[in-house]
């Protein structure tokens, strides 16, 4: 029975030889076109999602700026300025301690009266105006 069914199908498909081959080729081309189309669609969808996220982020940052909420970039900038100011304060404290130590040494030394008055501590140009 299986042999007769196989013979029947072979006969039917044999008669359709050239059209069947063309149908298989068409199906193969269609499969490749669908595959490449789906890859392009997936790629385009990924780019669209990335662009949409970027636009949403930009709009959110603009809205936060308009209502006065600080962004991460603003906080980073403030942190850098704070670190710079703290470094200046540390330098000024060291210089103040050195000046106080020098003044204490001058007070304990006997004064001969011929010495010139002590010079003011040297300041850097960028420290001017800092209290």
More confident call, 73 vs 7: 73
Residue 8: half-sphere exposure toward Cβ, Cα within 13 Å: 5
Average pLDDT over residues 43-68: 91
Q: Determine, yes or no, domain membership for 116.
A: no
Average pLDDT over residues 2-16: 67
Average pLDDT over residues 20-47: 88
More confident call, 104 vs 65: 104
Average pLDDT over residues 77-88: 96
Average pLDDT over residues 80-106: 96
More confident call, 120 vs 65: 65
> How many percent of the chain have pLDDT more than 90?
44
Binning the chain into helix, strand and coil, the percentages to the nearest 5 are: 80, 0, 20
Q: Determine, yes or no, domain membership for 28.
A: yes
Q: Determine, yes or no, domain membership for 101.
A: yes
Do 41 and 89 reside in the same domain of the chain? no
Do 11 and 48 reside in the same domain of the chain? yes
Do 78 and 53 reside in the same domain of the chain? no
Domain containing residue 81: 70-107
| Cβ–Cβ < 8 Å for 75, 81 | no
Do 64 and 42 reside in the same domain of the chain? yes
């Amino acid at each position: 029975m299986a042999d007769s069914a196989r013979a029947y199908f072979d006969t039917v498909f044999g008669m359709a030889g050239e059209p069947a081959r063309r149908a298989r080729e068409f199906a193969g081309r269609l499969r490749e076109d669908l595959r490449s189309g789906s890859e392009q669609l997936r790629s385009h969808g990924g780019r669209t999602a990335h662009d949409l996220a970027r636009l949403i982020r930009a709009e959110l940052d603009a809205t936060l700026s308009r209502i006065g909420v600080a962004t991460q970039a603003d906080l980073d900038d403030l942190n850098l300025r704070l670190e710079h100011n703290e470094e200046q304060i540390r330098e000024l404290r060291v210089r103040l301690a050195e000046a106080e130590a020098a003044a204490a040494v001058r007070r304990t030394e006997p004064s001969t009266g011929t010495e010139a008055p002590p010079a003011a501590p040297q300041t850097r140009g960028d420290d001017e105006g800092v209290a």
